[in-house]
Structure 1
Amino acid sequence: MTTAPHRRWAFWVAFAAATVIIAGIVSYFASSSPDGLDSATLKGCEVVEVDGAEELTGSCIAQNAKEHAMSASPLADYAVEGNKATSGIAGIIGVLVTVAVAGGAFWLIARTNKPAKVKPTTTTGQ
């Protein structure tokens, strides 16, 4: 007979395995092509290489883009320290951090929303 706590743990183990598989393996198959937003901001421009760096020519929204404040962070560009071969590891780290933060927030919310325990009153036989 399967108990409720056992089934709950089985669910969480399966959930963890699925997230690690998706983040760690499937992320290697993600497209490196620009998404819709990137494509839209590049309309009217051409990307050219000048002295080993990419530059935009023409007139487009992307010419006003600046480097993101977190671009030098260890997990920038969906890789560990910029190494594209580590995108799966970066994905796993991202999932773990997201689950930890969300789980902690949900745990705190659940603790604060518990109803107060009511002391049972005894009645006298009058």
Structure 2
Amino acid sequence: MTAHHQLPATGGLRARLRRYWWVAGLAIAALVVVILAPLASSHPDGLERVAEDKEFLDTAEGSHWEWLPDYTIPGLSGDTSTVLAGLVGVAIVFALMVVAGRVLSRRSQ
């Protein structure tokens, strides 16, 4: 199809789809977290592995405060903790993107 021969779309449907695209994105991100977070490796990540291999991991200082230590929710254990930590991460990133989008859209007006 060329640009001149596109299928007509109703104004109402197009407006609703444009307005609620973020719902689909948020739902997909949450679904990915719920499915994939329990499958995450319990082995150290790349930087931690290098620190172990080079034997300087014990000299590292922990942070004084962590939001989601080791990608878990303190007080919870197992996959539930990992999934909830992932969902919290998705919510934080989503909120930051909404704020950034609003700030940038105001600047462009």
TM tier relative to shorter chain? 0.7 to 0.9
Higher RCO, 1 or 2 (CA under 8 Å, sep at least 6)? 2
Distance 2:30 2:106 in 1: 28
Normalized per residue, which structure has more helix? 2
User: Which amino acid in 2 is paired with 1:39?
Assistant: R
Give unmatched runs, 5+ long, in structure 2.
1-8
Normalized per residue, which structure has more strand? 1
TM-score (normalizing by structure 2): 0.75
Which structure has the larger Rg over C-alpha atoms? 1
Moved over 4 A (4+): none
Distance 2:70 2:58 in 1: 19
| Deviation of 1:79 (Å) | 1.3
Give unmatched runs, 5+ long, in structure 1.
45-59, 115-126
| Deviation of 1:8 (Å) | 1.8
User: Which amino acid in 2 is paired with 1:81?
Assistant: P
Deviations for 1:9-63, whole angstroms, at most 9, x for unmatched residues?
Answer: 453222111111112331111001112211111115xxxxxxxxxxxxxxx2212
Give the one of 16, 31, 36 matched to 2:41: 31
Mapped contact 1:80–1:87 kept (Cα < 8 A): yes
TM-score (normalizing by structure 1): 0.66
Let me know the Cα RMSD of the aligned residues: 1.9
Is 1:19 matched up with 2:19? no
Aligned to 2:104: 109
